[in-house]
Structure 1
Amino acid sequence: MLKLVFLSFLLLILTCNASVQDFCVADLMGPESPSGYTCKSPANVTATDFVFTGFRKAGNTTNIINAAVSPAFDAQFPGLNGLGVSIARLDLAPGGVIPMHTHPGASEVLLVVQGSIVTGFISSANQVYVKKLLKGDVMIFPQGLLHFQINGGGRTAVAFASFGSPNPGLQITDFALFGNKLSSALVEKTTFLDDAQVKKLKSVLGGSG
């Protein structure tokens, strides 16, 4: 009797394991929700879905911030959909900066692989944590907190940022304030900047109003 119970229990475990879904490769043609993309049919999944080659070349740093962020989130890397991880490459030319920003959906771990980067974050108590990172150094940025990266030397810096979400989200403070249609009067009231400063920043960052 005991042997029969054991065999039945073992069969139940094997049946349950057989039904476990190992992955959910994103169907980029389907809808996206806060929990991610719907799953591509397993019959259409290939090894290519689990490989990302977008980091082979440096990002284009010829822009207003002299920096580039190349993401490998679920929209670019379907195989990590639903797995709770993602990664991005940061290229910062001399003088380059990733402006103050937040990732509302995940914490971030930054690894410097070339050059040096001055980086830090601000806690919800307005405590500032800033450090200059050299090649091989790693820093953590807690979820949702404002943080930044600045090239710390005279050569191009490269780093990789990993996240605890397939889509960590991104909001850049400067663009949130000056890159939209929020009226200048409201921006001035909430930032204590004068009209000339607000209009100048809006003209640079593409805002209006």
Structure 2
Amino acid sequence: MEVNADDFFKAAALDKPRVTNKVGSNVTLINVMQIPGLNTLGISIARIDYAPLGQNPPHTHPRATEILTVLEGTLYVGFVTSNQPAPNRNKFLSKVLNKGDVFVFPVGLIHFQFNPNPHKPAVAIAALSSQNPGAITIANAVFGSDPQISDDVLAKAFQVEKNTIDWLQAQFWENNHN
């Protein structure tokens, strides 16, 4: 009874390019936090801006499938299947998308987008099958956690020297905790 039109509206939410971050992307998510009327509707939308050679790094949405449409530019996109029996274990599926092309990332799978053009930005719109899809950026979660995951654990998991893990953790710790 208290609902009004503003509960279903967000003015000029996705019309302007945004400044990109260190890896060359900016995700402007419109979910239930910005539009309360999305509550229980199972959808959200995002604008993703990519600098030249920018990326939306490997990440996953634990609660949503994503369908991405390129509005401007070119994107190299892909996802990895999850622990399938041999011979298809962790199969990598990818495509190069141009303006107007559409690609789907199934719920929970690690995926990315990369603008291969060194001179022009790219823009995409993503629709997600959840009012609050969540996002887990893999490198940030693994190397930038607080407290840090033991370098012994990560060195063994990634099969690299501990000093490599220490270096990676330092990169993400500085970015996430300053």
| Larger CA Rg, structure 1 vs 2 | 1
Deviation at 1:164, TM superposition (A): 0.8
Contact 1:66 1:97 in 2 (8 A): yes
Determine whether 1:88 maps to 2:55: no
Structure (1 or 2) with the greater helix fraction: 1
Q: Percent identity?
A: 39
Determine whether 1:46 maps to 2:11: no
How many angstroms apart in 2 are the aligned matches of 1:93 and 1:193? 31
Deviation at 1:187, TM superposition (A): 1.3
The partner residue of 1:97 within 33, 55, 64 is 55
What TM-score, normalized to structure 1? 0.75
Deviation at 1:56, TM superposition (A): 2.3
* RMSD of aligned residue pairs (Cα, Å): 1.5
1:37-186 map, 5 Å: 42-43=1-2, 45-52=3-10, 53-61=12-20, 63-124=21-82, 125-153=89-117, 154-180=119-145, 181-186=148-153
Name the aligned partner's letter for residue 66 of structure 2.
Answer: E
Deviations for 1:7-45, whole angstroms, at most 9, x for unmatched residues?
xxxxxxxxxxxxxxxxxxxxxxxxxxxxxxxxxxx32x2
Unaligned runs of 5+ in 2: 83-88
Deviation at 1:104, TM superposition (A): 1.0
Contact 1:117 1:150 in 2 (8 A): yes
How many angstroms apart in 2 are the aligned matches of 1:84 and 1:75? 13
Higher relative contact order (CA 8 A, sep 6+): 2
Deviation at 1:152, TM superposition (A): 2.5
Unaligned runs of 5+ in 1: 1-41
Give runs of ≥4 in structure 1 deviating > 4 Å: none
Report what 2:86 is aligned to. Answer: none
What TM-score, normalized to structure 2? 0.87
